């Protein structure tokens, strides 16, 4: 797994023009139900953020690519849950946890849109929360408002620390 992380970051370093599409794909995969369990995108996004700071790549196009990837990934997961809720209830990991959907209903009854917003920031929940929100028939407008608001914050949390941190260190210690 470390080899794939290094390969992606090295690819972006060598082909900076592809940084935004790569970040879009990573954020999309990280936010997409089931795919996120196989993709170590968080580490890659943090690494690419550091690369932005170290190499002078323009932050904003990459940031917006992260926002769009995260937002569309959650949107698709929500849609899948909404349209295939009966089939999804029989799929892993939901089938292995039969109380997951009833707990999801209770979660969204209690927290509503804020549950979607907060769920984006917790690794394993990131991709399952939109799927369960769709399965639970959460109102689409409330979901999308929370989805896009959290995508803007999440992309900044993933990319900005490395970008800002390395550029500040360089300013402080450069001769």
Of the candidates 86, 74, 139, the residue with the CA atom closest to the CA atom of residue 109: 139
Instruction: Tell me how long the chain is.
Output: 175
CB-CB neighbours of 20 under 10 Å: 21
Per-residue pLDDT of the chain (175 residues; tens, 9 = 90+): 577 778 877 887 788 889 899 999 999 998 887 777 777 788 888 888 888 877 778 889 999 999 999 999 999 999 999 998 778 777 776 777 777 777 777 777 788 888 889 888 877 677 788 988 998 888 999 999 999 999 999 999 988 876 665 544 445 444 4
pLDDT of residue 87: 83
Both tokens assigned to 12:
């972006």
What pLDDT is attached to residue 165? Answer: 59
Q: What digits encode the pLDDT tens for the residues 10-33? A: 887 788 889 899 999 999 998 887
Exposed e or buried b per residue across 87-112, where buried means at least 16 C-beta atoms within 10 angstroms of its C-beta: ebeeeeebeeeeebbeebeebbeeeb
Question: So what's the pLDDT on residue 146?
Answer: 96
């Amino acid at each position: 797994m470390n080899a794939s992380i290094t390969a992606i970051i090295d690819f972006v370093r060598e082909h900076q023009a592809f940084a935004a599409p790569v970040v879009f794909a990573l954020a999309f995969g990280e936010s997409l139900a089931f795919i996120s369990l196989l993709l170590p995108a968080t580490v890659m996004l943090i690494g690419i953020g550091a690369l932005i700071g170290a190499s002078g790549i323009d932050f904003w196009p990459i940031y917006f690519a992260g926002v769009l990837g995260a937002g569309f990934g959650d949107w698709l997961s929500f849609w899948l849950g909404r349209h295939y809720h009966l089939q999804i209830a029989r799929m892993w990991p939901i089938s292995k946890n039969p109380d997951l959907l009833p707990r999801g209903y209770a979660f969204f009854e209690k927290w509503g849109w804020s549950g979607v917003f907060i769920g984006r920031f917790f690794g394993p929940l990131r991709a399952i929360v939109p799927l369960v929100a769709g399965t639970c028939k959460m109102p689409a407008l409330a979901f999308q408002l929370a989805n896009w608001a959290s995508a803007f914050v999440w992309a900044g949390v993933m990319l900005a620390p490395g970008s800002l941190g390395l550029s500040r260190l360089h300013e402080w210690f450069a001769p």
